[in-house]
């Protein structure tokens, strides 16, 4: 007797949820997922709706294949601007778009809202939280997560920025620090509340530090009566000998000068050895801080380890030159989850690597369906940029290295054009223009729960 016969009053969704629950407990095999398909056409499953996954799907729009895009979130997130949501510069909907909407015109693409748990290369199935999904070709673009270097217990006190939930939680924590300081009479407690530490001097950490400084020194300056938001202390801690290590020394120095101009304290060559509620141990210095933001490192998605293929120390899959998994030419790993060297150096964890990797993996799938050999992937570096604040940025594009106003304008143009959807581009442009004219950040809303996203039930 089937589940439907046993429970006539339950919906199909409830039956599926019950069956999947039993499968997780080991009682039955997870159900196969019913997806649209055409007889005789191979199925390409893409795990992840980020830069790599979406570009792979788009590159397959004219191919004689059925594509299934799987993501745990229903939206594509433009992560490079996530810090602007966290610092009240932009709203979540301005840097995110529904994946179904983005791919709506691709008739051979179906989108599934599900969480990929494991890959069985022998059976050619992906184990999802809603069942099993078979594939003929697989492109894994599940990205990375925060890495606390073996100290995951720091996560509740030092949230990072990877999702919209993370950004909204950080925004709440930042704004609540000023609200609490407004009503505290103890000067030491107030000083602690108005001390903010960012761990990690890469682009995310530097951009976050600059945005926080502008928030405190401009946007909030007239909002309070008992405190002066300009008294906020912002400390950027970096373990390496310099910030923005991917940039040339001259541009690193310009970025550090811009941070100093905003009042940001930079600690270089300083390792964080402890994070507690209300304090950070940075080298020999204890910094009493009410808010700590983590931007120090990432670890590859755990999905990579389920492949049973060689991985590096942070869990990235060591792929073949064509980005396929050793021993499985039909499985490709791209973006932050893939470890691939070019000219003796690992490819950086930036959006362009994922974008180009997604397109290359899609082209390889097409070649395989046509019984042609695949080609080695070669990353084309289109440049590197970081913004520190108002009219302050650094850029390295080919042999050109520049900073200041021009670099900032280039940064603005590139990021606006990279956003998904004309509406988002227009709204973000208007928001930035308004912020430039008025020095204001209009999205100063305290919303959501006061607990980190990962700890919610």
Query: What span, in angstroms and rounded, lies between the C-alpha atoms of 354 and 292?
Result: 29
CATH, range 12-146+299-369? 3.50.50.60
* For residues 268-290, average pLDDT: 97
Q: Is 207 a catalytic residue?
A: yes
Q: Give the strands of the sheet with 195-199, arranged side by side.
A: 264-267, 233-237, 195-199, 291-294
pLDDT value for 1: 39
* For residues 250-265, average pLDDT: 98
Q: How far is CA 434 from CA 90, 338, 367, 439, in A?
A: 12, 40, 48, 8
> For residue 128, what are the β-bridge partners?
116, 131
Residues ≥6 apart with Cβ < 8 Å to 22: 28
pLDDT value for 448: 79
The band of 454, judged by pLDDT with boundaries at 50, 70 and 90, is: low
Q: How far is CA 220 from CA 104, 133, 454, in A?
A: 41, 50, 29
Domain 152-296+383-455 has CATH 3.40.50.10480: no
Tens-place pLDDT, residues 308-360 = 999 999 999 999 999 999 999 999 999 999 999 999 999 999 999 999 999 99
pLDDT value for 29: 61
> Under DSSP, is residue 283 helix (H, G, I), strand (E, B) or coil?
coil
Indicate whether 25 pLDDT > 70.
Answer: no
- Report how far apart the first and last C-alpha atoms of the chain are (Å, whole number): 34
pLDDT value for 16: 43
**Domains 12-146+299-369 and 152-296+383-455 agree in fold:** yes
> What is the DSSP code string of 316-352?
-EE--TTSEETTEEEEEE-GGGEE-EETTEEPPSSHH
Residues ≥6 apart with Cβ < 8 Å to 85: 91, 92, 95, 164, 167, 168, 171, 443
Whole-model pTM: value is 0.89
Residues comprising the chain, all counted: 457
Q: How many CB atoms lie within 10 A of CB 394?
A: 28
CA 94 to chain centre: 15
pLDDT value for 3: 39
Query: What span, in angstroms and rounded, lies between the C-alpha atoms of 169 and 160?
Result: 10
Q: DSSP assignment, residue 402?
A: E
Indicate whether 19 pLDDT > 80.
Answer: no
Please answer whether residues 131 and 29 qualify as being in contact, where contact means their C-beta atoms are separated by less than 8 angstroms: no
Indicate whether 139 pLDDT > 90.
Answer: yes
Domain boundaries, the chain: 12-146+299-369, 152-296+383-455
Which pair of tokens denotes residue 125?
């199935």
Please answer whether residues 235 and 267 qualify as being in contact, where contact means their C-beta atoms are separated by less than 8 angstroms: yes
Stated as kind and residue range, the H or E segment containing 369 is: helix 351-369
Query: What span, in angstroms and rounded, lies between the C-alpha atoms of 338 and 47?
Result: 13
Q: How far is CA 396 from CA 240, 330, 403, 406, in A?
A: 20, 36, 9, 12
Please answer whether residues 348 and 311 qualify as being in contact, where contact means their C-beta atoms are separated by less than 8 angstroms: no
Whole-number percent of the chain with pLDDT over 90: 86
Instruction: Write down the catalytic residue from 127, 132, 207, 214.
Output: 207
Q: Return the beta strands (E) in 114-175 as ranges.
A: 116-120, 125-128, 131-134, 137-140, 144-146
Please name which of 414, 410, 334, 324 lies closest in space to residue 379, comparing C-alpha atoms: 334
Please answer whether residues 375 and 73 qualify as being in contact, where contact means their C-beta atoms are separated by less than 8 angstroms: no
The band of 455, judged by pLDDT with boundaries at 50, 70 and 90, is: low
pLDDT value for 27: 44
Tens-place pLDDT, residues 62-113 = 999 999 999 999 999 999 999 999 999 999 999 999 999 999 999 999 999 9
Whole-number percent of the chain with pLDDT over 70: 92
Q: DSSP assignment, residue 93?
A: G
């Amino acid at each position: 007797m089937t589940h439907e016969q046993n429970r006539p009053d339950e919906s199909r969704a409830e039956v599926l949820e019950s069956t999947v629950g039993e499968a997780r407990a080991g009682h039955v095999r997870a159900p196969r997922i019913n997806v649209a398909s055409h007889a005789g056409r191979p199925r390409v499953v893409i795990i992840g709706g980020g830069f790599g996954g979406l570009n792979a799907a788009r590159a397959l729009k004219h191919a004689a294949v059925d594509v299934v895009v799987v993501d745990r979130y229903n939206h594509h997130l433009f992560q490079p601007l996530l810090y602007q949501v966290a610092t009240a510069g932009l709203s979540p909907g301005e840097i995110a778009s529904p994946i179904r909407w983005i791919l709506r015109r691709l008739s051979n693409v179906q989108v599934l809202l599900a969480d990929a748990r494991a890959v069985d290369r022998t059976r050619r199935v992906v184990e999802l939280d809603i069942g099993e999904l078979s594939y003929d070709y697989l492109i894994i673009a599940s990205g990375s997560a925060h890495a606390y270097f073996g100290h995951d217990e720091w996560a509740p006190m030092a949230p990072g920025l990877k999702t919209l939930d993370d950004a909204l939680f950080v925004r709440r924590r930042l704004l609540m620090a000023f609200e609490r300081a407004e009503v505290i009479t103890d000067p030491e407690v107030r000083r602690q509340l108005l001390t903010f530490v960012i761990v990690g001097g890469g682009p995310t950490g530097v951009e976050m530090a600059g945005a926080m400084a502008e928030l405190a020194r401009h946007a909030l300056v007239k909002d309070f009566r008992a405190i002066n938001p300009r008294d906020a202390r912002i400390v950027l801690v970096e373990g390496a000998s310099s910030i923005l290590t991917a940039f040339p020394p001259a541009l690193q120095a310009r970025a550090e000068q811009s941070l100093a101009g905003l009042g940001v304290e930079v600690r270089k060559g300083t390792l964080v050895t402890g994070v507690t509620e209300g304090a950070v141990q940075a080298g020999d210095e204890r910094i009493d801080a009410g808010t700590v933001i983590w931007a120090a490192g990432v670890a590859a998605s755990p999905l990579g380890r389920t492949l049973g293929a060689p991985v590096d120390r942070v869990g990235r899959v060591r792929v073949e030159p064509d980005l396929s998994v050793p021993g499985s030419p039909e499985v490709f790993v791209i973006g932050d989850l893939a470890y691939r060297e070019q000219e003796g150096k690992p490819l950086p964890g930036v959006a362009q690597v994922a974008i180009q990797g997604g397109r290359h993996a899609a082209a390889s799938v097409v070649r395989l369906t046509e019984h042609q050999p695949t080609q080695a992937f070669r990353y084309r570096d289109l440049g590197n940029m970081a913004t520190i604040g108002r009219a302050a940025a650094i850029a390295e594009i080919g042999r050109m290295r520049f900073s200041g106003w021009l670099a900032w304008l280039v940064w603005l143009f590139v990021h606006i054009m990279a956003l998904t959807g004309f509406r988002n581009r227009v709204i973000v442009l208007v928001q930035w223009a308004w912020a430039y004219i008025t020095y204001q950040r209009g999205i100063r809303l305290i919303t959501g729960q006061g607990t980190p996203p990962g700890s919610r039930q």
